[in-house]
Amino acid sequence: GESVGLHLPTLSVQEGDNSIINCAYSNSASDYFIWYKQESGKGPQFIIDIRSNMDKRQGQRVTVLLNKTVKHLSLQIAATQPGDSAVYFCAEKIGGGNTPLVFGKGTRLSVIA
């Protein structure tokens, strides 16, 4: 089975509202998580990351929350803008070294103007 998955495949929000994108992971050994944004025809773009020794990390308009008890990760986007429309992936990594990132399926965020 998949190690990383997403609860919602699509999410539509009004411009200006906050967006919350969720991700569940099953491997308790994962200790590093990244959220990526992917626009059509482009590669994944780094948004924010978090290590397992933290439960919250904030960036510019984005916040990542990590709940290790229930193995849940979320990305919050404040004041969602049309430019935020994209597919969002969570990815996890186990340990250091060159172990690969494992991606979830993605959530499509559509911002309604």
* Residue whose CB is less far from other proteins, 33 or 111: 33
**How deeply is 30 buried, as exposed, middle or buried, from its count of CB atoms within 10 A (0-12, 13-18, 19+)?**
buried
Rounded-to-integer distance, Cα 102 and Cα 29, Å = 13
Q: Which residue, 8 or 46, is less far from other proteins as judged by CB?
A: 46
Residues 36 and 88: beta-carbon distance below 8 Å: yes
Which residue ranges make up the site for other proteins (CB under 8 A)? 34, 36, 41-46, 49, 89, 91, 97-106
Q: Which is nearer to other proteins, 14 or 46 (CB)?
A: 46
Residue 6 CB, shortest distance to other proteins, in Å, is: 9
C-alpha 71, offset from chain centre: 13
Give, as one character, the DSSP assignment of residue 82: G
Q: Least distance to other proteins from the beta carbon of 13, Å? A: 22
- Distance of closest approach, residue 15 Cβ to other proteins, in angstroms: 26
Q: Are 88 and 62 in contact (CB under 8 A)?
A: no
Q: How far is the CB of 35 from other proteins (least distance, A)?
A: 10
Place of tokens 């229930």: 70
